[in-house]
Amino acid sequence: MPETSQERYVQVLIDQPLPELDRLFHYRVPDGWDVPLGQQVWVPFNRKLIAGWVWALDDRPPENVSTVQFLAAVDRHVRVPDDVRQLVDWMAHRYQCTRTEALHPCLPPGPRQRPSRWVMLQGTMTTEERASWGGIDPDAAAIIARLSRAAHRQMRLTTLLQPDRQAQTAAIERLIRAGWVKLEWQLPRERPPIEHKTGQREQTPSPWPPLTAEQARICEHLATASGPVLLHGVTGSGKTEVYLHSAREVLARGQRVLYLVPEIGLTPQAGARWTERFADYSVLLLHSGLKDRERHGAWHRIASGQVDVVIGARSALLAPIDRLGLIVVDEEHEPSYIQDQDPKYDAREVALFRAHQQGALVIMGSATPSLEAYWQAGMGRLQLLTMRERVTGAALPPVTMVDMRAELAAGRRGVLSQQLREAIDQRLQRGEQSLLYLNRRGFSTFVLCRECGEVLTCPHCAVSLVYHRAAQVLRCHYCQHRQAVPKQCPHCHSEAIRYFGTGTQRIETELLQHFPSARVLRMDRDTADSHGVEQVLNQFARREGDILVGTQMIAKGLDFPAVTLVGVLAADLSLHVPEFRAAERTMQLLTQVAGRAGRSKQPGEVIMQTYCPEHYCLQAVENHDYVGFYRREISIRQHLGYPPFSYLARVLFTGLVEAEVAMAAETWAERLRDQAKSIGPLEVWGPAVDGIAKLEDRHRRVLTVRWQGIDAEPLRAALQATNQAYRRLRGRPAAVTVSVAIDSAAEPRVYPPLDKAFQS
């Protein structure tokens, strides 16, 4: 007798995003199967076959749990590596989402087909047998007749159940009992891993310039750094060169490199420099434009260790890359490092976690570090390295503030001040380039009725529609709704409707009035839609334009040697948004955009138009004084109890019926207030109507929660408990979605030891 083999069990994470199902289910492994951890499998669940992942192995099932034999691998080539499994567990806890939600962005697009059930005819019925069935059980006989005509004498169950589901189901059951038919699951075919074409050219790497003394000093520090580093280097100080050098050393040791940029689509220049320099390595650019097939291929290439350098936005951190030696987080201060959908992760934290897992160095670089990062450095959690000089040795460009109140008093009402116009004129005469930056945030060309004051808004979102002159339409920048420009005000029927605001298009028009022969290029959300960004940037780089006008997209990381003038229109505009980070964001944007001037031999100049030149934020930009700004701002934050001196959570409720949304928010808030009593310094503000009251037809209410504890765990626990209590409530409006986001930028980054499993 063969020895009975030990029964083996697995714990499976089911591929369903419901919080109720965010636990592990036990299945028995069929004999003779070798099931690795992380494997994606089909398992029976609620009379269906659904996908899941083997999350843990087990020798025996826990008591009182019925175990089912599990069925088959979904895709033997897709396996969640151990460290990604660990990352997912951590993210689900840290960012308050289900493990499935955290796992999905870590994997290639899943199988498109689902398993289906097939009914197959067994054996052959004689004519007499069929006749006798027909006499007793016409339904069953009809099924047999259909099956014997079908290809391979089998049919999909769903097809066979037509037209009368109930009668057919019963008939099939009778046939199964009689042994005439068999019911079987059929699994979709496994996909073979796709070869990913990288467009990797056979090329010799571009030359490495000798480092400046300052760069060399920084590289030395990095080579011996024992923890994560914050690299604060002024604009044009050559931080990228420092990253490249560190990367080269890491690669020479046989380790891998991850280079993160805020938005890959907006920084084609960044990718190019890396691919050129590391032409003899395998460099992979993960950008959002990849099609499913390409993403699949990229995932497999990374997972099989064929890629040395991965360049991408925040999600590149979730790639199955191992043997990491270096993670660079470039432009560390950018808000796009935080994902605003589940999993709502902060890439800077995830970078530290990934590095912790694999023993890699993290460099976070910026000319304008986030306040929190600089503060973390002050707390000794990041090592601060500073670069004070530009590569060229030139000084940072002088910044002049133009007081627009004086312009107005002098009777000049144009968008461009006299001083800025003269400066542009000079550049045109000298054949140099100018960059005009419109500091637009929630500010654009809107349509207003001058009689009743009505602003035209999107019918699906409570935001004003933006007028696009080229296409002569009104568009919603959130949901892309379009409509023609009305001739009359829809509210009071007056014909006095006018366009207001200063869009990039209006600036372009005014520029052309003053400088009819200038070549003006424009970059804003319109041009950015279709491959426009790269095209415009390349045109400008080839000097096919004299002036580039744009919004935030031209503020970041661009390096055009011929740009000697940067003009900023409405510098203070972004100060007035109701957000506690407004001053920080404004300082960062303005410093970054100012840093585009004079990056090569010719000296640069910056002119900023503003209505409040005396604001400390603008003063800091004028004096290139990051540290001064930091000191002032951090004391304000401390005084007001904002992050990093507290944790703020935002709970957003959305739904189609406003009354339901309001009720859900009230009920939720009440539960949380109950929780708050027992845990201490937790404040609950609201619920209030969100800044955008309605988006894509969904009404919005928001709850703000402040927690002034040392770490965010008690806050997390309270929010989670509230969510659970709320979900258990009878009669709650089920159609309202609740979404929690914690601003945890100040949290001590203490990670669990790696040898210990920390699954819940």
Ligand X SMILES: Nc1ncnc2c1ncn2[C@@H]1O[C@H](COP(=O)(O)OP(=O)(O)OP(=O)(O)O)[C@@H](O)[C@H]1O
Residue whose CB is less far from ligand X, 83 or 559: 559
Distance CA 3, CA 552 (A): 70
Min CB(494)–Zn ion separation in Å = 24
Min CB(460)–Zn ion separation in Å = 4
Task: Give which of 591, 708, 734, 596 is closest to 655, Cα–Cα.
Answer: 734
Distance CA 42, CA 50 (A): 5
Residue whose CB is less far from ligand X, 50 or 394: 394
CB contact at 8 A, 702 and 486? no
Distance CA 374, CA 367 (A): 11
- Written as six digits, the tokens of 697 are 């037809």
**# binding residues, Zn ion (CB under 5 A):** 7
* Residue 260 found at the interface with ligand X (CB under 6 A): no
Residue of this chain nearest to Zn ion (CB atom): 476
Select the residue interacting with ligand X from 11, 39, 168, 240 (CB under 6 A). Answer: 240
* Residue 557 found at the interface with ligand X (CB under 6 A): yes
Would you tell me how many other CB atoms lie within 10 Å of the CB of residue 269? Answer: 18
* Residue 255 found at the interface with ligand X (CB under 6 A): no
* Residue 185 found at the interface with Zn ion (CB under 5 A): no
State the DSSP H helix or E strand holding residue 653, giving kind and residue range, or none if neither: strand 647-655
Task: Give which of 265, 262, 267, 229 is closest to 338, Cα–Cα.
Answer: 262
Residue whose CB is less far from Zn ion, 384 or 479: 479
Select the residue interacting with Zn ion from 33, 478, 616, 726 (CB under 5 A). Answer: 478
Residue 461 partner contact from ligand X, Zn ion, none using kind-dependent CB cut-offs of 5 to 8 Å: Zn ion
Cα–Cα distances in Å, from 340 out to 293, 332, 336, 454? 25, 17, 9, 31
Site string for ligand X, 391-420 (x = CB under 6 A): x-----------------------------
Q: What share of the chain is helix, strand, coil (3-state, %, to 5)?
A: 35, 25, 40
Residue whose CB is less far from ligand X, 244 or 350: 244
Is 449 marked as binding a ligand? yes
Cα–Cα distances in Å, from 656 out to 465, 660, 733, 735, 740? 21, 8, 11, 8, 19
CB contact at 8 A, 715 and 709? yes
CB contact at 8 A, 526 and 503? no
* Residue 209 found at the interface with ligand X (CB under 6 A): yes
CB contact at 8 A, 73 and 39? yes
Residue whose CB is less far from Zn ion, 309 or 466: 466
* Residue 239 found at the interface with ligand X (CB under 6 A): yes
Select the residue interacting with ligand X from 11, 39, 168, 212 (CB under 6 A). Answer: 212
Q: Which of residues 420-459 bind Zn ion (CB under 5 A)?
A: 458
Min CB(740)–Zn ion separation in Å = 24
**Torsion sign, CA atoms 82, 88, 93, 99:** negative
Residue 325 partner contact from Zn ion, ligand X, none using kind-dependent CB cut-offs of 5 to 8 Å: none
* Residue 465 found at the interface with Zn ion (CB under 5 A): no
Distance CA 532, CA 526 (A): 8
Is 489 marked as binding a ligand? yes
Cα–Cα distances in Å, from 497 out to 354, 416, 454, 455? 55, 25, 9, 9
Min CB(368)–ligand X separation in Å = 9
Helix (H, G, I), strand (E, B) or coil at 666: helix
Residue 86 partner contact from ligand X, Zn ion, none using kind-dependent CB cut-offs of 5 to 8 Å: none
Is 106 marked as binding a ligand? no
* Residue 481 found at the interface with Zn ion (CB under 5 A): yes
* Residue 238 found at the interface with ligand X (CB under 6 A): yes
* Residue 586 found at the interface with ligand X (CB under 6 A): no
Residues at the interface with ligand X (CB under 6 A): 209, 211-212, 215, 233, 235-241, 367, 391, 557, 559, 595, 599
What residues are designated binding site? 449, 452, 458, 461, 476, 479, 489, 492
What residues are designated binding site for Zn(2+)? 449, 452, 458, 461, 476, 479, 489, 492
